[in-house]
Amino acid sequence: MNIGFFDSGIGGLSVLREALMLLPNENYIYYADSDNAPYGTKTREEVKRLTFDAVKFLNERKIKALVIACNTATSAAVRDLRKAYNFPVIGMEPAVKPAVQMNNNGDKRVLVLATALTLKEEKFQNLISRFDSEHIVDMLPAPKLVEFAEKFIFYGPEVSAYIKEIMPENIDQYGTLVLGCTHFPFFKQALEESIPGSINIIDGNRGTVNHLMSVIKNNNLLSPSDTKGKVTFYKSGVQVKDQTILERYKNILYDTKAEKHTF
């Protein structure tokens, strides 16, 4: 059986890449709803409907676990998905807790970069309430980064200009930048060149995959160690066979520890 990965587009590939390193013997189905991206500018109801449609599609292909590799879709739908399906559902969560722990004893603040919908959803607000007792967390929507990513534009004058445009003037007050959207790790180089080097940049990808690994083990769902893992890609319900797109996906996912996989 497969592990399903779902995202509004290619952002979840940054999470899948971690999974290929930690769980190299698994078979994966990756569903990018690129035809309907971005999700962050849609209503909660729209995002929930699109997410349920995609998960229904994945469930019909016999998945044993599901990763909602999208912070926006997690916020809108993860609770109801867990009620609707019997397989484990792992969602994304911005790395607010570790960011606050890193900065609570100093004089620096935390900046969370995410989509507008993620930032205003109850799930994220509850996260802030639980861990930001000192009120050191600020929020910054960055919708155009998702649009750049879906065009495979991760670096260059357009990206740099946009980052400089949205970043607060008093950026020096921050000690940590949290990437609260799975599309955003693709822009780490551009971000590092646009903000002071003293600011740590973190995301929740590794934590999500660690949780997936724990759930898979605890439910006796691990594939045998002699299994050769495979990744199958779907774009809004249609299997991706276009070699140009596949090469782009492979370039994002490539890692020497993932060489056992076929694409």
Q: Which of 65, 70, 145, 240 is catalytic?
A: 70
Q: Which residues pair with 138 in a beta bridge?
A: 111
- Type of residue numbered 80: D
Structure tokens at 135: 């009120």
Q: Which of 13, 90, 181, 216 is catalytic?
A: 181
For residue 56, the tally of other CB atoms under 10 A from its CB is 11
In 3D, which of 59, 112, 104 has the Cα closest to residue 81?
A: 59
How large is the angle between the packed helices 71-84 and 122-131, nearest 10 degrees? 100
CB 39, CB 45: distance < 8 Å: no
* Kind plus residue range of the DSSP H or E element containing 29: strand 27-32
What is the distance between the alpha carbons of residues 258 and 263, in angstroms, rounded to a whole number? 11
In 3D, which of 65, 71, 62, 75 has the Cα closest to residue 15?
A: 71
DSSP 87: S
- 23 a catalytic residue: no
SS percent in the chain: helix, strand, coil, step 5:
50, 20, 35
Place of tokens 């971005």: 38
- 26 a catalytic residue: no
Q: Give catalytic residue positions.
A: 70, 181
